[in-house]
Amino acid sequence: MRRLLLLAAGLTLSAAVQAKTLNFSGYAWEVRNQSQSGPGPNDWDENNAWVDAQGRLHLKIAQRGGKWSSAEVYLPQRLGFGRYQFKLIGRPDLFDDNIVLGLFNYPTPDVGPDATNEIDIEFARWGNRQNPMGNYTVYPAVPGPKPTSYAFEPHLNGDYSTHRFNWGASRVLYQSLHGHQDGDLYEMARWNFAPADPTRLVPQQPLPPHINLWLFQGRPPKDGKEVEIVIKEFSFIPAAAK
């Protein structure tokens, strides 16, 4: 249902002509600046994304003059099979019920429509305290099949965590781990999506990565507090050629 709220990729990328650019983790990310558009709808303010003196990316949900706004950055280029890793500073496990953090790939219009060709790590309770906070989701390569998801309840033991998906032609392996690391220690969640029909159910074409922090259905946080998350590092390791 929530995918119906997502912005069509063409609208996102149409704003790229005049987009603010941030240099983060060796890539030039474009910053979304758009009013009342999905998901949500949200107001996306380029001032809610910045890189600090240590090279870390900050995303913020802010309230200015009684108006709430969200943040999103994305790469204009597409990346293919390989390992996508995000090292976070913050406590997404303690987010307000209306906060959503997305670490994901999303299709351009020539690859496929909304509800296809997407690989998500999301932290959100979708407005309901009873929902698990952690969500891994793979959207099919073709229209028709439903997405497949795995939900879990993360329990961080500090402000540092690492989240990744390893995307290949036949599967997507997800992991969430305590601390900042490139290995497999202190794992808090894992899901290996390896369907019998991967050419239909696993995205097969390169996709641009996105990172966003937004309000579910545009609702303000129930606690009335602004939210900020820091991404210390994004890394992409291409899959080895066969």
DSSP assignment of 163-225: EEEEE-SS-EEEEEEESS-SS--SEEEEEEE--S-HHHHS--S-B-EEEEEEEGGGPPPTT--
pTM for this model (two decimals): 0.92
Give the per-residue pLDDT at 242: 59
| Share of the chain residues as helix, strand and coil, in percent rounded to the nearest 5 | 10, 45, 45
65 CB-contact burial (10 Å; exposed 0-12 / middle 13-18 / buried 19+): exposed
Q: Domain holding 169: CATH number?
A: 2.60.120.200
Q: Compute the distance between CA of residue 102 and CA of residue 147 in angstroms, rounded to an integer.
A: 16
| pLDDT of 180 strictly over 90 | yes
Q: Compute the distance between CA of residue 203 and CA of residue 210 in angstroms, rounded to an integer.
A: 16
Q: Provide the pLDDT confidence category of residue 19 given band limits of 50, 70 and 90.
A: confident
| pLDDT of 11 strictly over 60 | no
Give the per-residue pLDDT at 142: 98
Domain hosting 90: range is 2-238
Q: How many residues does the chain have?
A: 242
pLDDT tens digits, 25-60: 999 999 999 999 999 999 999 999 999 999 999 999
| pLDDT of 9 strictly over 90 | no
Beta-carbon-side half-sphere exposure of residue 101 (alpha carbons within 13 Å):
22
pLDDT tens digits, 119-170: 999 999 999 999 999 999 999 999 999 999 999 999 999 999 999 999 999 9
CA 211 to chain centre: 4
Q: Which residues pair with 210 in a beta bridge?
A: 74, 104
Count of structural domains within the chain: 1
pLDDT tens digits, 67-80: 999 999 999 999 99
